[in-house]
Amino acid sequence: MKKILLTSAGFENQNIQNKFMGLINKEPKDIKVLFITTAAIEPDAIMVLPKCLEDLLNCHISMENITVYDMHKLIEIEELKKYDAVYVCGGKTSYLADRMNEVGFKKVIDEYINHGGIYIGVSAGSVAASGKYKNGLNFIKNILDVHCADGTPAGEIKTTDEIKLTDNQAILVTDNNITIIE
């Protein structure tokens, strides 16, 4: 089953964190996460990285089980499969999409997800997973905007709808289902 969680601001509310933990379905001490910081190239995004890391630590995931990856080279699928989740931080979406494209990340992450791996996007990590950028991951075809004052109402989404997320919302993608959760 496909397990993708796209957020505007990470685990901003307990329901989003609970949804992640339900998807992963493991004891926190056993969870391994690949933490991708590639999009954080500007000072304001770099300053948010500790908050993103805190999302995982608040789930009681051990710091020793979190590996930082910056996409300087392609991670091989066998290496990627060692992780239960891939958490992609925010920053500059166009830079992130370009890096993903340059290293061939789409092919590897698609295989990872098809084998039960979980993708968590935060801000740029979510937008790069949507249909907004031609060279993005395109997990959903929808155009996605994040950090919106007014979000798309919670519930099931059609594949053609534009989606606006507030910082307290997330998109859950499972197989052919796209749902906004709050």
Q: What is the pLDDT of residues 74-95, one digit of tens each?
A: 999 999 999 999 999 999 999 9
Residues in the chain: 182
Quickly count: other Cβ atoms within 10 Å of residue 85's Cβ.
24
Locate the domains of the chain by residue range: 3-181
Helices (H) then strands (E): counts for the chain: 6, 10
The CATH fold assigned to 3-181 is: Rossmann fold (3.40.50)
What pLDDT does residue 81 have? 96
Question: Does pLDDT of 176 surpass 90?
Answer: no
Instruction: Say whether pTM exceeds 0.85.
Output: yes
Q: What pLDDT was estimated at residue 160? A: 77
CB of 83 within 8 A of CB of 67? yes
152 backbone dihedrals φ, ψ, rounded to 5°: -65, 135
Does residue 114 sit in helix, strand or coil?
A: helix
For position 14, what pLDDT does the model report? 96
pLDDT in tens, 97-138: 999 999 999 999 999 999 999 999 999 999 999 999 989 999
